[in-house]
Amino acid sequence: MSLGTIALAGSQALLGLVGVAVGGAKVTHQEDQVEDFQRFGYPQWFRILTGLIEIGAGLALLAGLVWLSEFTVAGGILLSSVMVGAVATHIRTGDPLSKTTVPAVLFAFTAGLLIIRDVTIPL
């Protein structure tokens, strides 16, 4: 196994763990997440749904390391889509750049992972 392959797998594992962690914070009603979604004007059920999607995406990225590469594609698309929504929300609410940077970086890394892995879903 080459160093590049190991680094790519490590990056995918890290993104998967981050997805599970940030989703878990939303699902477990962490105070800052509850307050943020209130400030965004989103209902609390949307916070739970977003958290479940992030957890699912993270688990799919982790599963893609062991089983089918389609899990990597699904998890990557889900996580990057949620991060696009997060960036748009932070911009819409006038949050400082520091709040927008984290989801933007997560989007970039997730999209990069999908591009570098060159994973395709067989038709």
User: 4: pLDDT confidence band, cut at 50, 70 and 90?
Assistant: confident
pLDDT in tens, 23-44: 999 999 999 999 999 999 999 9
- The reported pLDDT for the residue numbered 123 is 39
pLDDT in tens, 40-94: 999 999 999 999 999 999 999 999 998 888 899 999 999 999 999 999 999 999 9
pTM: 0.90
**86-90 CB contacts, 8 Å cutoff, 24+ apart:** 89/40, 89/42
Burial of residue 39, with CB atoms counted within 10 A of its CB: 0-12 exposed, 13-18 middle, 19 or more buried: exposed
Q: How far apart are CA 17 and CA 55, in angstroms?
A: 9
Q: What does the block give as tokens for 59?
A: 């688990």
Read off φ and ψ for residue 40, nearest 5 degrees.
Answer: -70, -15
Q: Which of left, alpha, beta for 38 (phi over 0: left; psi -120 to 50: alpha)?
A: alpha
Whether 113 and 12 have beta carbons less than 8 Å apart is answered as yes
